[in-house]
Amino acid sequence: MGIRKAKRADIDQLEAIENKVFVYDRLSRRSLRDYIASPRVEMLVATQGRELAGYSLVAFRKDSVFARLYSLAIAPEWNGKGLGRALLEASEKAARRRGATAMRLEVRAENQPAIALYIKAGFECFDRIDDYYEDGATALRFEKSLRIRR
């Protein structure tokens, strides 16, 4: 497995992953293309040979210490192989390189596998937002300090 920055040539596979993983709140092909090109986003892909197995999307705001993990998706056929953890770690490193000192994210309250991943990685839940998602589902907000502890 490898992790690298997403490129325009990845768009078909990224769209396929998005459609396999998410029923609601999917990123459109156009949004995916825009994120790949955006200087305010770090979009990483996990590769297995020539195949994309997943991606992460981290957004940055000017003059903010927070990076936002906007999306993390692993194609179902690659679940359980550590790709989510690897992409999360790579996303954190990318955020540190850009000067972020903390990362935040939202996750569906019923998405127990993702919540377990985030808690194991050191994220802490700090808020709950009812009716957050397109289908009315609740989101939990998590945060993690990215400061290196010595």
Catalytic residue among 35, 55, 118, 132: 118
Residue 112: partners with Cβ closer than 8 Å, 6 or more residues away: none
3 state DSSP class of 133 = coil
Element counts in the chain: helices (H) and strands (E): 4, 7
- Report the sign of the C-alpha dihedral through residues 23, 121, 32, 81, in that order: negative
Can 106 be counted among the known catalytic residues?
A: yes
Can 118 be counted among the known catalytic residues?
A: yes
Catalytic residue among 15, 106, 133, 143: 106
Q: Which residues are catalytic?
A: 106, 118
